[in-house]
Homo-oligomer: A and B are copies of this chain.
Amino acid sequence: MAIDKKEVSSWFKELQNDICAKLEKLDGKAAFGTDEWNREDGGGGITRIIETGALIEKGGVNFSEVHGKVPENMLETLEIDQDSTENSTFFATGVSIVLHPNNPMMPIIHMNIRYLEICDKDSISSNWFGGGIDLSPHYIFKEDARGFHQMLKETCDRHDKGYYPTFKKWADDYFYIKHRNETRGVGGIFFDRLSETKESSIDSLFAFVKDVGAVFFPIYEQLANRRRNEEYSDNELNWQALRRGRYTEFNLIYDRGTKFGLETGGRVESILMSLPPQSKWTYNHSPPDGSPEDITLKQLRKNIDWISPD
């Protein structure tokens, strides 16, 4: 299960650079700011934020590589069974992206890929990859959801035919706002703790994760080119603000990365870059029957086959 962790973090860092450069070009107006930060107990990160762009109202592309002695609550939070952490160290690196577009016809997109390694007395006791991409449209366009899932399926299929169905279901279950009985959006893929097995070496898992990272920009570019110039009015902006409220609910109540980050003293502004530029809550809001908002709401369900609908 050995892998050069520095190679992983270097690739992640390059991906951040590459995606930021491409997003700036796609946006055409705003540029990413750069904040480098250090973690007191080892490592740090680069937070890159774009605001008030032509396409993106608020977005972040984060890279981090943190390491050091295993913090007290880390193993418990990760549910790792290990007697003592006295001689344990960890290494975690990842890229996280959330983009909130101006145009309500464009979806919110999220991508994350990560690698974690725990060492006991200098030898790896466990290591794995995790990640995912998911789409939260303010208005669901079936052709967009289909195209999105198709691209994810192709990416997965190149590595393992079992990946897409498993990781698609995982996304449905993970990106779920339980108290609303609503999915956050049309899902995507989510996977965690992909460790080496007889069937897949750690290198082949890294190759898969690289492919997930690489497909992010083409997916977003396609959506942007299709939706960025759609017309909208105050009604659609109002709905967008309400859907952003749901996104906020998910991230603050359920998202494990957010929770883990805030509880373990991560950099607050980097973690909460995922929150929308603004959100709205109107008591008991219910869109008129048959309206585009109502049709969207009714499709925020688990287990929809977006690629081959009935």
Contacts and interface: CB of A to CB of B under 8 A. Distances in A.
A88 to B, nearest CB: 25
Contacts of A248: 248, 252, 279
Interface residues on A, range: 20 to 34
A278 interface: yes
B278 A273 contact: no
A33 B33 CA distance: 46
A284 B253 contact: no
Given A275-B281, A280-B278, A268 B49 contact: no
Contacts of A49: 283-284
A41 interface: no
A284 B269 contact: yes
A65 interface: no
A180 interface: yes
Nearest to A242: B278
A262 interface: yes
B179 A283 contact: no
A241 B278 contact: yes
Contacts of A178: 262
A180 B275 CA distance: 15
Contact of A275 (B245, B273, B278): B245
Interface string A175-188: 00011100000000
B60 A283 contact: yes
B58 A262 contact: no
A282 interface: yes
A107 B58 CA distance: 28
Interface in A192-248: 241, 245, 248
B253 A283 contact: no
A15 interface: no
Copies of this protein chain in the complex: 2
A17 B239 CA distance: 33
A51 B284 CA distance: 12
Interface string A4-21: 000000000000000000
A160 interface: no
A135 B281 CA distance: 21
Contact of A278 (B33, B180, B279): B279
Nearest to A281: B275
Interface in A254-310: 262, 268-269, 272-273, 275-284
21 contacts: A49-B284, A51-B282, A58-B281, A58-B283, A60-B283, A178-B262, A179-B262, A179-B268, A180-B268, A245-B275, A248-B248, A248-B252, A249-B272, A252-B252, A269-B283, A272-B281, A275-B281, A277-B282, A278-B278, A278-B279, A279-B280
Interface of A: 33, 35, 49, 51, 58, 60, 178-180, 241, 245, 248-249, 252-253, 262, 268-269, 272-273, 275-284
Given A178-B262, A252-B252, 7 more contacts: A49-B284, A179-B262, A179-B268, A180-B268, A248-B279, A275-B281, A276-B281
